Amino acid sequence: MHVVFIEPSFPANQEEFVRGLVEVGAEVTAIGEAPKEALGRELGRQLFHYEQVRSVVDTAELSRVVRGMQDRKPIDRLETTIEAHVMSAAEVREELGIPGTSVRTAFLCRDKPAMKEALREAGVPCAESIGSSSVDEIHEFARQTGFPLIVKPRAAAGAAGTASVSDAEELDEALVEMGVDRGASVAVEEFVEGHEAFYDTITIDGRIQHDFVTHYYPNVLEAMRTRWISPQFIATNRVDSAPDYTEVRELGSKVVSALGIETSATHMEWFFGPKGLKFSEIGCRPPGVRAWDLYCAGNEMDLYREWAMAIAHGRTSQKPSRRYSAGIVTLRPDRDGRITSYDGLEEIQREYASWILDFHLPPPGTPTQPVEAGYLANAWFRMRHPDYDELRRMLDAVGERVQMRAE
């Protein structure tokens, strides 16, 4: 089994996908933007071959390189796990006849308005939405739907570039900022009130083989805009035991079918509130911010290897234990600048030592990162516990009692 993997070295956990493929017997050729010398000894040792390109999203360049590889050794799969690389990989697959995610599926998982239209047609509830480059058309949608609204780039990942607007004036400001007055097309959608979470799977031939549910506290937009909040997300171990997740799993299967997802990792954002369960963003790739590491720790399994088994052999080899819930809490500096110290750290480490998986604490003198940079931008703790509610209490305690100082 010869697998070509796009961009093996960034972010850091990309190496885990390569490791998984090698461990299940695949021969891995990789394509990336870094020089081979920058890959590191272990990663370089695992690769059958490596090619550096100027840009992995330049479809013409990617196609040329993959075609050359294919001439030397037939390619069984061409894989990528990063949102921004999904479309270029799909276009090369289709051009060269390599199995994997299709251009149609990649498009539907990238273009938000088209995605939601396909989901609604399949009976999957989601927010009312429009994709447009017309200011007048967008204002007409706003009049019909009402405020607040969400405005985002059509191919955004997560909350990147997303704005919440509460009136026509804020809408106009967002449209100018996103370049609609210069011809850019954006996605505009109904604001869905409720709790936000995500449903992740590994699918094989369009059937879900592994699945996981993770909850945000608070919702992402609020978390990425409010400094004092120490946001967290928690992967629950109650997926099989709590009837609350039955509808999520049923609709998740409908999403996979509607978007034509075959053998792939998936990432599905959803909300539950006064209007019931509604699905939001869908990706035919794994979640970001190392969520899979939490799934591995909570379920005593190697999910990277399971993904590799699905890709290389069309089957799974492990079952999730569901023994632990696992989560992360992010710590923000009290101001932008350089980190000076941490308060309350030793007490937390003593009290919860047996439940801490790992943590990241940039040393004093390190420049801080902005709040909107994400969950892994500054300091964080990752923990697990058999009881979901107790884990949430512990993560709350870390966020409240550990203070990250800067000046």
- φ and ψ at 81, to 5 degrees? -125, 10
Query: If we measure between CA atoms, which residue out of 93, 259, 125, 94 comes closest to residue 192?
Result: 125
Q: Do domains 128-190 and 195-406 have the same CATH topology?
A: no
Distance CA 210, CA 203 (A): 7
pLDDT, the chain, mean: 95
Report helix, strand and coil shares of the chain as percent, to nearest 5.
Answer: 40, 25, 35
Percent of the chain with pLDDT over 70: 99
Boundaries of every domain in the chain:
2-100, 128-190, 195-406
| Class of domain 128-190 (CATH, top level) | alpha beta
Distance CA 279, CA 282 (A): 8
User: DSSP letter at 222?
Assistant: H
Q: What is the pTM of this model?
A: 0.92
49-52/264-273 β-pairing: unpaired
Residue 374 — very low, low, confident or very high, per pLDDT cuts 50/70/90?
A: very high
Q: Which one is the CATH code of 2-100: 3.40.50.20, 3.40.800.10, 2.40.50.140, 3.90.650.10?
A: 3.40.50.20
Q: Which fold has domain 195-406?
A: D-amino Acid Aminotransferase; Chain A, domain 1 (3.30.470)
Instruction: Summarize pLDDT for 168-226 with one digit per residue, the tens.
Output: 999 999 999 999 989 899 999 999 899 999 999 999 999 999 999 999 999 998 998 89
Q: How many CB atoms lie within 10 A of CB 52?
A: 15
Instruction: Summarize pLDDT for 263-319 with one digit per residue, the tens.
Output: 999 999 999 999 999 999 899 999 999 999 999 999 999 999 999 999 999 999 999
Residue 242 — very low, low, confident or very high, per pLDDT cuts 50/70/90?
A: very high
